Chains A and B, each alone.
Chain A
Amino acid sequence: MAENGRTVTAELQLHQRLARKGQDYYEQAKELAGVAVNKKAFGDDRRQMRSLETLAFRARSPVDVFAFIKSQTGKEGKKEGWRYNDFGRRLLTHLEELKGEATELVQQVYGNTQDAGRLLEVHLELVRLYIRHLVSQYLYDRPQEETTP
């Protein structure tokens, strides 16, 4: 059964590959989460990371997430926040570079890299996946940071 060129097999394949990516991102997100948990970044103030997560899951395009990160990183404030240890720039670069992985996935699953709509969807899924791991890891690390003298 196909809907707009999508087959059940292709969709299952995509989900399997996304699950594998999730395993990679679980490890990859630890480093940036370690930066986020620092007091000079967000410390125990969960709002920024929660906002990022909420936005990522409401976004219609990776571009919405990128624009949010850019705005937050460029914002004036007393705390270094998103600029601490280059957090915002590093996160943005990583998420933008996921486009390469999305292109590969689209090619592997659908055999077509010219479909911008599909590329956008897969890229957005990868962005969400990474952010989900980043925020989970941040929340997990956060209490440990609090107990550190």
Chain B
Amino acid sequence: MISESVLERVRYQTLYPDAAAFIRDNGTMTESQMTGLRVLFASEQDVNEIRHGYIKKRIERSQEAGRPEQQQFWVALDRKLGELQKQAASLLGGEQKDDVQRFIEAFIVLLCAENRYRQKVAVETDGQDLQQKQEDSDAQRTDHSSSLRGGPRFRDSTPPGGRGRRDRGAN
């Protein structure tokens, strides 16, 4: 079984920066999607089942909804989880299901903290605002209608919430 100290070192050196980089590069998910993911891991559902079930469904739905950015997010997350599974197996010297699960769950916890943070805090990197704010579809509609009632106007592709921020929305 993976020792606490090894897991802590990996969280510190690898998983924390990886989670930050993932959200920076791929944008954010909605609060409800994040909760869904957390619940699945908290209920100890196998990571392969989550990849082939929940995440696959998110990919399909975003494709159907014609949201390539959102689709790319979930494809990237699926790929990242695959990489982490391999990394965990290699670190642990073989496939140990429980340890791999703990390893990935540790990543998901950090990913969700980063996700929530980036929904609210703009990131200045190379002069670019990389924040990609998302709202649940209900919240989106509410915000949008309030902006039409006299709030600031946005171009069609720009959601309420910030200039140049991309919205992945909810599926």
Interface residues as binary, A104-117 with B (CB distance below 8 Å gives 1, 0 otherwise): 00000000000011
Q: Does A71 contact B (CB under 8 A)?
A: yes
A37–chain B nearest beta-carbon distance, Å:
21
Beta-carbon nearest neighbor of A71 in chain B: B113
Interface 9-residue window, one of A9-17, A38-46, A58-66, A134-142: A58-66
Inter-chain contacts of A116 with B (CB < 8 A): 9, 12-13
Instruction: Tell me the complex Cα distance, A68–B121, Å.
Output: 15
Inter-chain contacts of B114 with A (CB < 8 A): 70
B161–chain A nearest beta-carbon distance, Å:
13
A127–chain B nearest beta-carbon distance, Å:
12
Inter-chain contacts of B119 with A (CB < 8 A): 74
Interface of B is mostly: helix
Known: A60-B8, A67-B113. A73 touches B121 (CB 8 A): yes
Q: Does B117 contact A (CB under 8 A)?
A: yes
Instruction: Tell me the complex Cα distance, A117–B7, Å.
Output: 10
Q: Does B4 contact A (CB under 8 A)?
A: yes
Instruction: Tell me the complex Cα distance, A75–B31, Å.
Output: 10
Inter-chain contacts of B8 with A (CB < 8 A): 60-61, 63, 117, 120
Interface of A is mostly: helix
Inter-chain contacts of B24 with A (CB < 8 A): none
Known: A74-B120, A75-B116. A67 touches B109 (CB 8 A): yes
Instruction: Tell me the complex Cα distance, A66–B114, Å.
Output: 9
Is the CB–CB distance between A63 and B11 below 8 Å?
yes
Is the CB–CB distance between B12 and A120 below 8 Å?
yes
Instruction: Tell me the complex Cα distance, A11–B115, Å.
Output: 38
Known: A63-B110, A67-B109. A74 touches B12 (CB 8 A): no
Known: A61-B8, A61-B11, A117-B5. A74 touches B16 (CB 8 A): no
Q: Does A30 contact B (CB under 8 A)?
A: no
A114–chain B nearest beta-carbon distance, Å:
11
Inter-chain contacts of B16 with A (CB < 8 A): 63, 66-67
Q: Which residues of A51-91 are within 8 A (CB) of B?
A: 60-63, 66-68, 70-71, 73-76, 83, 88-89
Nearest first, the 9 closest Cβ-Cβ pairs linking A and B are A74-B116, A70-B117, A67-B113, A70-B113, A74-B117, A74-B120, A63-B16, A116-B9, A71-B113
